[in-house]
Amino acid sequence: MTAYDDLMAFTRDTQALGQVAGRLGWDQETMMPRGAAPQRAEEMAAMESVLHSRRIDPRVGDWLAAIDDKTLDTVGQANMRHIRRSFERTSKLPAALATKLAKLTSAAQGIWAEARAADDFKAFAPTLAEVIMLKREEGQALAAGGDVYDAMLADYEPGTTGADLEAMFGSMRPVLSDLRAAIRDASPVSKLEGTFDEAAQMKLTRQLAKTFGYDMSRGRVDKAVHPFSSGSGLDVRITTRTNEADPFNCFYSTIHEVGHAAYEQNIDDAYLLTPLGSGVSMGVHESQSRIYENQIGRSHAFTGWLFSQMKEAFGDIGVADADAFYATVNRVGDGFIRTEADELQYNLHVLLRFDLERALMAGDLQVSELEAAWNDRFKADFGYAVDKPSNGVLQDVHWSVGLFGYFPTYSLGNVYAGCLNEAMRAALPDLDADLAQGDTSAATAWLGANVQTHGGLYEPREVIERAAGQAPSEAPLLTYLKEKFSGIYGL
């Protein structure tokens, strides 16, 4: 066997152990009894210790040194790029710090959930301060004198910096704010009213998952506080949540997570349990979930079909016709929760978090000041005050589990989705006729062939540029949003 063969065999086992660790996280969110949290924290820490030791194993460095990348094909070179990047990154991180972070963030997740339920930020603040202290220490080790936040961002979106995102988001914010202000002055769109049986919601949501191509023989749909997708390859699971007063929360959370899951399920099987066998970045990942949820799932054509399915599942839902239903699905209204926000205002939620977490990592904002800073920024951006912590600073799980640098990839994913939608519509001129019948296969096949099958073969922005035929830009997204909401609100 060659050094490359030995390296890939070792890497395959590491990837498999990583999947096991991910399954522990999925179980913690869905099935694990609450009383098991302290033990699970120990288990997660032990798994992270094993994984970290494998990622910095001296043999990996020896194999990397022995391999001439020029002798490898495109796939081999891509594998080497990922392995080398991971090895160099992980080698900078002390094993004790990695283990301490894994243990703390596992415990912090439960503390956050209890604080959220009690609407008590002060109960979570000391733990969050500990997480931030360790994440800052991690960032400093990874940055090696460079920007700490950029080092964190590289974990989720290689090749993108905080300055890049600040410029992009700076171009988006005034356009979104102006459009939102115009809509507030327009005639309102009716909100869905009534009570919608939660068992019926779950039945229809599983149908929607299949409609968008989710392979249930390699996945499952469960319920969790915060919807998420977990796993890759042959075992990709999603969660959703129900609210008897808001079935759209369930349906569009499911479609969103199916976008993530479909990406993982549709990666070329040849890449299974290799560095190429997962989505290349969170921004590209989010492009799939957002285009499934919004450009496809909230389109006029598809909502016409969903209208008929909802009437079949729930009877009279109090909406006159398919046109009114389309407007209701895309209604722009006041709300606090990012995951429930309409397409227009969603990015304003993300920009708020991006600015706050950068300030936290830079030391310009202290945890003791965070709740007030959140509330002030929210009122400035949205025009009304946060009523309670669970609708504000405590609503997201991300900071409790140490995912700093993750939030901006949501808006970057929206930007990527705008580029992909423009290209997909040009390639599939009859797409709306299919979507009106509840047939998403042409759209999902196009995304599968142009984005998903590649896994980690290309760098993130290259994936989008190859599929869209242009460098990523916020322009297509902003054009799409202006046209869509101007039509709905008669602007």
How many Å apart are CA 98 and CA 138, to the nearest integer? 8
Residue 378 CA: distances (Å) to CA of 116, 211, 352, 391: 18, 36, 7, 11
Length of the chain: 491
Using CA atoms, how far residue 393 sits from 111, 125, 352, 403, in Å, is 14, 10, 11, 15
Tokens 């799980």 sit on residue: 397
Identity of residue 376: D
As a whole number of angstroms, the distance between CA 434 and CA 423 comes to: 17
Q: What contacts 449, CB < 8 A, 6 or more positions away?
A: none
Contacts within 8 Å (CB) and 24+ apart, 72-78: 72/4, 74/457, 75/270, 75/271, 75/276, 75/457, 76/4, 78/275, 78/276, 78/456, 78/457, 78/458
Per the CB < 8 A criterion, the answer to whether 211 and 441 are in contact is no
Residues 224, 109: contact at Cβ < 8 Å? no
Residue 197 backbone phi and psi in degrees, to 5 = -50, 130
* H or E stretch at 286: helix 282-290
DSSP annotation of 226 reads: S
Q: Six-digit token pair at 401?
A: 């589990």
Q: Please report how many Cα atoms fall inside a 13 Å half-sphere around the Cα of residue 12, on the Cβ side.
A: 9
Is 257 tagged catalytic?
Answer: yes
Which position among 138, 257, 264, 422 bears the catalytic label? 257
Residues carrying an active site annotation: 257
